[in-house]
Amino acid sequence: MASFLVSLLLLVLQTYAAPSELIKAGFGSARDSIDPDPVPPVNVSEDSTSSPPPGTSKRTPHSIIIGVRKGGTRALLEMLDIHPEVAVAATEVHFFDWDENYAKGLEWYRDLMPYSYPHQITIEKTPGYFTSPLAPERICAMNSSIKLLLILRDPTERVISDYTQVYFNRLENHKPVQAIENLLVRNGALNIRYKAIQRSLYDVHMRNWLKHFPLEQIHIVNGDALIHDPLPELQKVERFLNLPPRIVSSNFYFNQTKGFYCIRSDGRERCLHESKGRPHPSVNSTVLQQLRSYLREHNRSFFRMVKRTFSWQ
């Protein structure tokens, strides 16, 4: 068993692959290793060589931030880390979209969670879960009453942000890059097989989650609102998770240089990783309109599904 867990851990550390991006046949595979999402560490340190604090233990999470990629999952996790009754996992796990060894890996999964006190709740975030065809059923099998957090932003802006991240990743790794229009359009038509577009079909992915969880167990965080005014969104999350209100306005300050809110807690100030908040490229207006038109009906379907609307263009 020990040798299996070691091998499993090595496999995961080497595999930060985006899962299948669209549930419909013909749109991707269960393993997709392109454009991995770099994961800067959360500001929670654990010395694996030291003894755990007395009275703490490792447990499977009480709540999971399931996505969406480039929707603000890192910001949400870092902001929830302010709360004294929250313990956050320090790394993304990409566990529930595995094709193999799922049952044997639960012990390993629990071991990656932070030490927490009985009065604390543990939260893990892996944005690829939302688009994974396997994650909903497997998370439900682990804990059918778990509370799920889904942070979404304007799906068109999310596509552009997705492209921007991959663009800079490729530049940093000295790989060739393409203009966003070349990826969005093929032979004069919108390239709906482009994975960044597939990830923004919120209704397609949400339908899979609602097969396994009632809507009441999935709290949708408005990622656009979290950027511009974080406190109201975090207060809603506190209520959803049945946490006492501990996050206050003084926990945030606007950084003029970065152009977004940063965090102030425990006498420290910190901002998100430098990879966050990168300027988006300008997109040809005709191509942008094609993208918005395609996503519009998917957005309407999603609004009906979740009984809520958002001010997405």
Closest CA to 191 of 123, 67, 290, 279: 290
- Annotated active-site residue 175? The verdict is no
Q: What is the DSSP annotation of 86-102?
A: EEE-SS----TT-SS-T
Strands, E, within the chain: which ranges? Answer: 63-67, 86-88, 121-125, 147-152, 185-186, 189-190, 218-222, 252-255, 260-265, 268-270
Q: Give the residue ranges of DSSP H helices in 23-154.
A: 73-80, 106-111, 135-142
**CA end-to-end distance (rounded Å), the chain:** 52
* Residue 73 is labelled as binding a ligand: yes
Cis peptide before 88 (omega within 30 of 0): no
* Residue 71 is labelled as binding a ligand: yes
* Residue 74 is labelled as binding a ligand: yes
Query: What is the token pair recorded at 70?
Result: 């480039």
CA distances from 33 to 65, 69, 196 (A): 21, 15, 14
* Residue 153 is labelled as binding a ligand: yes
Q: Which residues contact 233 (CB under 8 A, 6 or more apart)?
A: 221, 222, 225, 226
In the sheet that holds 63-67, the strands lie side by side as 86-88, 121-125, 63-67, 147-152, 218-222
* Residue 59 is labelled as binding a ligand: no
* Residue 223 is labelled as binding a ligand: no
* Residue 188 is labelled as binding a ligand: no
CA 159, 72, 181 angle in degrees (round to 5)? 15
* Residue 264 is labelled as binding a ligand: no
CA 272, 273, 276 angle in degrees (round to 5)? 80
* Residue 104 is labelled as binding a ligand: no
Among residues 58, 70, 195, 211, the one annotated as catalytic is 70
Binding residues for 3'-phosphoadenylyl sulfate, by number, are: 70-74, 153, 161, 261, 276-280
Catalytic annotation, residues: 70
Binding residues, by number, are: 70-74, 153, 161, 261, 276-280
